[in-house]
Amino acid sequence: MIDLLLNALSDIASVKTLLLLLMGVMFGLMFGVIPGLGGTTALAILMPLTFGMTAINAFAMSGGIMGAVAMGGAISAILLNTPGTAPNAATTLDGYPMAKQGRAAEAIGAAATASPLGGLFGVMTLLMVLPVAKELILLFGPPEFFLLAVFGLVTIALSDSTNLLRGLISAGVGLMLAFVGYDTVTGGERFTYGSDYLFDGIPLVPALVGLFGVTEMIHLSITGGTVAGDAGEVRLHGVVKGIKATLKNWKIVIRGSLIGTIIGSIPGVGGTVATFIAYSTTKRADPDPESFGTGRIEGVIAPESANNAKDSGALLPTIAFGIPGSAEMAVFLGILVLHGMQPGPTMLLNNEREIYVLIIALTLSAVFSAIIGIALVRWLAMITLVKGQILAPLVIAVSLVGTYAIDSRPGDVVIAAILGMVGYLMLRFNYPRLPLVIALVLGETAERGFLQSMMISQGNWEIFISSITSIIMVLLILFTLGWSFIPGILKSRREARAKSK
């Protein structure tokens, strides 16, 4: 394996290849920053350019893009409360409050450190499990998909104990939106009202752009002032503090990366859920969970380390079976085919060299994009000083154009606009928005997994505890539920006993 890595390194170490990788990084950062656009769009746009390149160069550039979007997306999540890409949504929870307190630079510093560390950790995990990739992927079938989705939903339900009911209502709306469209199990159409657009369901990225980007800009233009308005001054020199805090919290980085790699490897669930679970696990393990959401740096470190680790995870099913672990990987598979390779179980045998090049490119890209991110922090943080009247129209226009650019569907823009207004109402009446997003991602996986399991087992519920994987998942769900309720119950019992004495 070491010699394979060294070979790949020497493949990349030519001026042209490195330049293409850097070009990918710049492109990835830019597409990451703009809400709506992300790695998928960036890869799709650059795909025709790879025609004339060697496969190695094409992979170096693709790796550059995929490794850099996470960093770009974190920047807009922190500065504008608008996740640049879907997996950055969890970063807004504490990143934006930090920006509001004038600590944007510190938050970006933390994200820029957590990203490459998470990327490195993910790559190491990937290299370790690559020989057993096939067996790992085969552990997940419809019952396990269902349980995993339930686990995700349980995590959201319990993520905010002070706001439990509102969180559940928000998640319920998310589930309802998730069920719009063509149902691949029964073949029926639901809530489409004959529209070809709704046939494909409510898309995630426009929904995110609306709920976060548009909402935040409506809010900003109504309250007036700047993002960092209440901070008094913006500390531009917090970067080092952010870097140090991340290194100090290495346990959070490792946990986040592990969660990112595992969840990232499961097709259809992906990064948005991975970063969110990394966030809420860190929150729950903290002695002071209530303070999350007010600008805790740990709330940036956890999701951002998971974010870069998830790319390595997503490579697993892609390499082992040719099944893309994420939307980006789907486009990447297209690039593979264009370069004369055949996705599927033989890839690891026939295209080992190219795969290692991609792995190295992903790692280098995470490091490069972090360095660029840190270098630009001072100027980027200035955005929080721009007046709302100037910032809001700009951000709304750019995000809506970005939304349209994904598939050139006008419906996407309408969804973003409507959900932007819904999001503003949610913000005003204190309903959390992230549960809606997570439920929108997981609703389909949960339903499909459940129906398929029931069809396979002919209605026998034992299918949900019939494999070791599913038993572990059930225990994990019970444990998560127990952890959040039992301490409360014990406490009230103790108090009752103390009173009766």
State the residues that interact with other proteins by CB under 8 A: 40, 43-44, 47-48, 51, 137-138, 141-142, 182-187, 194, 196-197, 199-200, 267-268, 321-324, 330-335, 337-338, 340-347, 349, 407-409, 448, 451-452, 455-456
User: CB of 316: closest distance to other proteins in angstroms?
Assistant: 13
Nearest C-alpha neighbor of 445 from the set 198, 57, 145: 145
User: CB of 10: closest distance to other proteins in angstroms?
Assistant: 24
Residue 431 or 450: the one with the smaller Cβ distance to other proteins is 450
User: CB of 144: closest distance to other proteins in angstroms?
Assistant: 10
Residue 27 or 212: the one with the smaller Cβ distance to other proteins is 27
User: CB of 475: closest distance to other proteins in angstroms?
Assistant: 22
User: CB of 458: closest distance to other proteins in angstroms?
Assistant: 9
Classify residue 209 by its DSSP letter.
I
Tokens 């934006």 correspond to what residue?
Answer: 96
Would you say 88 and 79 are in contact if contact means Cβ atoms under 8 Å apart?
no
Q: How far apart are CA 91 and CA 73, in angstroms?
A: 9
Q: What are phi and psi of 336, to 5 degrees?
A: -55, -50
Residue 247 or 323: the one with the smaller Cβ distance to other proteins is 323
User: CB of 467: closest distance to other proteins in angstroms?
Assistant: 10
* Residue 342 CB neighbour total at 10 angstroms: 12
Three-class secondary structure of residue 354 per DSSP: helix
**N- to C-terminal Cα separation, the chain:** 67
Q: How far apart are CA 166 and CA 425, in angstroms?
A: 13
Residue 168 or 333: the one with the smaller Cβ distance to other proteins is 333
Q: How far apart are CA 435 and CA 195, in angstroms?
A: 27
Nearest C-alpha neighbor of 266 from the set 141, 158, 358, 370: 141
Q: What is the token pair recorded at 332?
A: 């990447």
Residue 44 or 236: the one with the smaller Cβ distance to other proteins is 44
Three-class secondary structure of residue 258 per DSSP: helix
Q: How far apart are CA 501 and CA 498, in angstroms?
A: 5
User: CB of 187: closest distance to other proteins in angstroms?
Assistant: 3
| Beta carbons within 8 Å of 375's beta carbon, 6+ residues apart | none
Nearest C-alpha neighbor of 256 from the set 202, 220, 297: 297
Q: How far apart are CA 186 and CA 80, in angstroms?
A: 41
Residue 109 or 201: the one with the smaller Cβ distance to other proteins is 201
Nearest C-alpha neighbor of 35 from the set 358, 403, 433: 403
User: CB of 259: closest distance to other proteins in angstroms?
Assistant: 23
User: CB of 453: closest distance to other proteins in angstroms?
Assistant: 9
User: CB of 305: closest distance to other proteins in angstroms?
Assistant: 27
Residue 97 or 343: the one with the smaller Cβ distance to other proteins is 343
Residue 2 or 349: the one with the smaller Cβ distance to other proteins is 349
User: CB of 277: closest distance to other proteins in angstroms?
Assistant: 22
Would you say 26 and 376 are in contact if contact means Cβ atoms under 8 Å apart?
no
Residue 302 or 362: the one with the smaller Cβ distance to other proteins is 362
Q: Which long-range contacts link 325-329 to residues 24+ away (Cβ below 8 Å)? A: 325/264, 325/265, 325/266, 325/267, 325/270, 326/264, 326/267, 326/270, 326/271, 327/39, 327/40, 327/270, 328/38, 328/39, 328/40, 328/43, 328/66, 328/69
Would you say 290 and 315 are in contact if contact means Cβ atoms under 8 Å apart?
no
In DSSP terms, 189 is beta-bridged to 182
Q: Residue 196 half-sphere exposure, CB side, CA atoms within 13 Å?
A: 2
Residue 229 or 322: the one with the smaller Cβ distance to other proteins is 322
Residue 156 or 446: the one with the smaller Cβ distance to other proteins is 446
User: CB of 295: closest distance to other proteins in angstroms?
Assistant: 38
Q: What is the rounded radius of gyration, in angstroms, for the C-alpha atoms of the chain?
A: 22
Residue 188 or 287: the one with the smaller Cβ distance to other proteins is 188
User: CB of 338: closest distance to other proteins in angstroms?
Assistant: 5
Residue 52 or 287: the one with the smaller Cβ distance to other proteins is 52
